[in-house]
Amino acid sequence: MVFSDVAKVYPLPAGDVRALDGVSFRVDRGEFISVMGPSGSGKSTLLNLMGCLDTPTEGDIWISGTRIRDMSDTELTALRRDRIGFIFQYFNLFPLLNIIENVTFPMMLKSGRGVDPERGKEVLRAVQLDEKLFTHTPTELSGGQQQRVAIARALINNPDILLCDEPTGNLDSKTGAGIMDLMTELNRNGTTIIMVTHDQNIADYSRRTIRISDGRIVP
């Protein structure tokens, strides 16, 4: 992933707000990076751009060699589905679907039809979730278990990048540490991880930290 002189401007009645200004960096395959910064620093904007939920006002972003500027909503959506795995602070599982269905949901989006639940089970085992829970609904699981399911869902389509927004923000420190150990292991097995956090202890799991302040990268 390459950011080249990226700026994001939000037009507001009181005047334009430059949430990001001249941001350039590069993330190589297999890296484990944390993005840190105080609230209002442009962290969320950066995350939205990395996640292809938004496009830059200026500059260019390449993901796996694809320039995301000028892409249609349909193309960006397909890119998110196939190349990026999202992990959220609040797990964000679908309450109407059971664990297996939650995990295989992105696979169904990709294939457009029903999928083999075995693949879902395989990934769930990889995130060390108890097999008994596979047919439960998300609300019956603890926070740590839900986050493991969310990670499994993010991994199911073999994404190029795992994008995490405060993945342990809603977990106690012990459970959080378990999740971070899992992430470290996934990274060791080749998954590229970009993690947004304001917790230095969590950021310490990563191998590189990008600090951001007032829309700019702090050198």
Partner 1 sequence: MIFWEIAKRNIRIHFLRSTLAMLGIVIGVVAIASMGILGNSMVSMVSDSLSSVGDSVIVYPYTGGGGGGFHGGSSGSTENMKITDQQFQQIKRVVAPGIAIPVHSTSERMKVGVSKDYIVASVYGVDPQYLKDLNFELTAGSLNNANSGCLVGSAFAKDNNIKVGSRISMGTDGSKGTLRVTGIIKERGMSFDISTDNAVIATQDWFEGTYNTGKYYDELVVKVKRDQDTANVKTIIEKQMNKRDKVVMVIDSKATLATIYETFGAITSFVTAIGGISMIVAGVSIFNIMMMSVNERIKEIGIMRSIGTQKKEVMSMFVYEAAIIGVIGSVVGGILSLLAGYAISALMLQSTKYLWTLSTVSSIAGGVGFGIVVCLACGIYPAWQAANLNPIDALRHE
- Residue 78: both structure tokens together: 């397909």
148 binds partner 1 (CB under 8 A): no
Closest approach of partner 1 to the CB of residue 42, in Å: 14
Closest approach of partner 1 to the CB of residue 154, in Å: 8
Query: In the window 85-104, what residues touch partner 1 (CB under 8 A)?
Result: 86, 88, 92, 94-97, 101
Q: How far apart are the first and last CA of the chain?
A: 19
Alpha carbon distance 51, 117 (integer Å): 27
- Residue 7: both structure tokens together: 């700026």
Closest by CA to 208, choosing from 51, 36, 48, 22, is: 36
Residue from the set 12, 73, 132, 189 that interacts with partner 1 by CB under 8 A: 73
Residue from the set 8, 41, 50, 54 that interacts with partner 1 by CB under 8 A: 54
Distances (CA, A) of 72 to 75, 77, 88, 110, 148: 5, 8, 24, 17, 32
136 binds partner 1 (CB under 8 A): no
∠ CA 109-112-117, nearest 5°, is 75
Residue pair 36/180 in contact by the 8 Å Cβ criterion: no
8 binds partner 1 (CB under 8 A): no
Of 31-39, 45-53, 61-69, 138-146, which part binds partner 1 (CB under 8 A)?
45-53
Q: List residues binding partner 1 (CB under 8 A).
A: 48, 51, 53-54, 73-74, 77-82, 84, 86, 88, 92, 94-97, 101, 105-106, 108-110, 112-114, 153-154
